[in-house]
Amino acid sequence: MPATQLPYVPSSVRRPGEPFAMTGEGKPTGFTLSAEDRRVVEALRHGDETVFLALVERYYATMRRLAAVYVDDPAVVEDVVQDAWLGALQGIHRFEGRSSFKTWLLRILTNIAKTRAQRERRSIAFSNLVSDDVEGDEPAVAPERFLTSGRWVGHWAAAPASWATVEDRLAAIETQTYVAQAIQTLSPHQRQVIILRDIEGLNADEVCNILGLTETNQRVLLHRARSKVRRVLEQFINAA
């Protein structure tokens, strides 16, 4: 990003020293837009191509992964990413800075992907509700791994091993491929949450905001997703 770029500040909107708000209707949310996001939004509004391309690059993998939860044709995934950027550009003048730019962008993407999935009628079991995905029994670890009777009931029958000695293997490329495949087998809601939390490093609040989840549901989905990936990883490590 060119350091000399003068920020474009509509004078009717913001006076020096005022907290960042892009329109008069911004309600206090306790959220403060970062200086970088502020620069980015101003640059986009100003039509800064360098900044735009840097953002495209930065969020590309995230956007594709998230879109791929809804639509499975790679060409459609690409369309969704393109449409999300168009939507973001068209809406950039209305961006109010109530969430981070990334959260805002991914929410646009999610909405477009959902609509597209409905249109394609191949919404990959997305008709199922979050509630179906957080209710019911889905133990983190197979019940057979625990003792079922005696004084130590509920304690490990087959305890997990330390992975301290297999760190090289954990970092190996084939492990990554295997884990990526394991993520594909998660339910769509679980997949979204683990992608955003653990691959993209968003925090719980941001993920609740993007996906419209309650704090508890977000955590249950994350728990189930991580637990399943661990199980798969354990099988993979033990099979070596």
Partner 1 sequence: MTEELSCQELVELVTEYLEGALPPGDVERFETHLAGCRGCRNYLEQMRHTIQVVGHLTEDHVAPEAKETLLATFRGWKRGETPPSPA
Provide φ and ψ at 79, rounded to 5°: -60, -45
- SS3 call for 79: helix
Would you count residue 60 as binding partner 1 (CB under 8 A)? yes
Six-digit token string for 135: 């209710």
Write out the binding residues for partner 1, residues 201-230 only, by CB under 8 A.
Answer: 201, 204, 219, 222-223, 226-227, 229-230
For partner 1, the closer of residues 18 and 168 by Cβ is 168
- The verdict on 160 binding partner 1 (CB under 8 A) reads yes
Q: How many CB atoms lie within 10 A of CB 5?
A: 14
Number of residues that bind partner 1 (CB under 8 A): 55
Q: Which of residues 89-128 bind partner 1 (CB under 8 A)?
A: 89-90
Binding residue for partner 1, selected from 72, 78, 96, 120, defined by CB under 8 A? 78
Nearer to partner 1, 32 or 169 (CB): 169
Q: Is 2 in the site for partner 1 (CB under 8 A)?
A: no
* Structure-token pair, residue 42: 């101003």
Interface region with partner 1, contact rule CB under 8 A, candidates 17-25, 121-129, 147-155, 184-192:
147-155
> Residue 162 corresponds to which amino acid?
S
Alpha helices in 93-166 (DSSP H): 101-120, 130-134
Q: Phi-psi category of 125—alpha, beta or left, where left has phi over 0 and alpha has psi -120 to 50?
A: left
119's tokens? 């249109």
Other Cβ atoms within 10 Å of 153 Cβ, number? 9
Residues β-bridged to residue 156:
146
Residues of the shown chain interacting with partner 1 in the complex, contacts defined by CB under 8 A: 47, 49, 52-53, 56-57, 60-61, 64, 78-79, 81-83, 85-86, 89-90, 139-141, 143, 146, 153-156, 159-164, 167, 170-171, 175-176, 179-180, 183, 194, 198-199, 201, 204, 219, 222-223, 226-227, 229-230, 233-234
